[in-house]
Amino acid sequence: MTGTALVRCSGVSLAMGGHRVLDRVDLLVEPGRIVTVVGPNGAGKSTLLKVALGLLTPDSGSVERSSAVVGYVPQKLTVERLLPLSVRRFLAMAVMGRVEIGRLEQALARVGAGHVLRRQVADLSGGELQRVLLARALLRQPGLLVLDEPVGGVDMTGQAELYDLIAALARQDGVGVLMVSHDLHVVMAATDEVVCLNRHVCCAGHPETVSVHPEYLALFGPRVAGSLAIYTHAHDHGHLADGSVLPLAGAEPHVHGPGCRHG
């Protein structure tokens, strides 16, 4: 592995069942940066995560991974109500051994779920369960955090909170984040780079750049893509034509949309 990359996919192609699922895909995740893969159903997003994690071997191309510990948050987890599994035990299983309760409490508090430690996993709401899954991943003290649709079953307010939390982890801990999401309209403010995938990389770059890219618009349609491009964040920077960041003084909240222009 060269440089500081946590995972690097170069020209990765993979066929499954006689169909090309990934076609010459490049992907790079570095410490402290959030890379979000978006695309329609069947675009190969989850397959790309599996290739990046070493769970699938590509037919061609190369995958380099650092020795960093990986924390994984699945798309969904179903626990039968008849299964007696407390949050405390579920978290302790992540570290494969005895763990002080204070460490579990700290992990839950960090994701805003300190109140669920003694609850049953099957009784948690969608938002509570996703926070517990994130806390479980953090107990491994990962250098790379991989999330597959991490806000499934969570309402809009909860989605924004979870994405803000993921962004804070990247900034504060220097964790690299690789995430699959359909929610570009919410996740844009927290993402450093968007990779728009439809078996091949249609376009990639800063969210504001991708949201107006012709291939992105063609893939999602102008009406849908336009609605996805609207978001609000603390505007402490601008973006040049190539999507690079230009720091600004006196940050003010700003709403972006299709008619927004930055120079």
The enclosing domain of 159 has a CATH number of 3.40.50.300
Looking at the fold, whether 132 and 240 belong to one and the same domain comes out as no
What is the band of 20 on the pLDDT scale with cuts at 50, 70, 90? Answer: very high
14-18 CB contacts, 8 Å cutoff, 24+ apart: 14/44, 14/47, 14/51, 14/56, 14/58, 14/59, 15/59, 16/47
Write down which residue in 107, 141, 175 finishes a domain.
Answer: 141
Residues spanned by the domain of 102: 77-141
What is the band of 234 on the pLDDT scale with cuts at 50, 70, 90? Answer: very low
Report pLDDT digits (tens) over 95-121: 776 678 889 999 999 888 889 999 999
- Look at the block and give the residue holding tokens 């990986």: 70
Write down which residue in 95, 120, 141 finishes a domain.
Answer: 141
* E strand or H helix that includes residue 157: helix 156-173
Per the structure, the count of domains in the chain is: 2
Looking at the fold, whether 174 and 65 belong to one and the same domain comes out as yes
d(CA 126, CA 152): 7
Looking at the fold, whether 135 and 192 belong to one and the same domain comes out as no
Looking at residue 100, its pLDDT comes to 82
Looking at residue 110, its pLDDT comes to 87
Looking at the fold, whether 50 and 149 belong to one and the same domain comes out as yes
Write down which residue in 85, 118, 141 finishes a domain.
Answer: 141
Locate 155 and state its tokens: 């309402």
Who's near 202: CB < 8 A, 6+ residues apart? Answer: 39, 196, 213, 215, 216, 219
Looking at the fold, whether 41 and 152 belong to one and the same domain comes out as yes
d(CA 156, CA 186): 8
Determine contact, residues 69/143, Cβ cutoff 8 Å: yes
Q: What is the pTM assigned to this prediction?
A: 0.77
Mean pLDDT score of the chain: 79
Looking at the fold, whether 170 and 129 belong to one and the same domain comes out as no
Report pLDDT digits (tens) over 248-262: 344 334 333 333 333
Looking at the fold, whether 163 and 204 belong to one and the same domain comes out as yes
Looking at the fold, whether 132 and 94 belong to one and the same domain comes out as yes
Looking at the fold, whether 65 and 114 belong to one and the same domain comes out as no
Residue 235 has pLDDT above 60, yes or no: no
- Look at the block and give the residue holding tokens 């949050």: 87
Looking at the fold, whether 249 and 261 belong to one and the same domain comes out as yes
Looking at the fold, whether 19 and 36 belong to one and the same domain comes out as yes
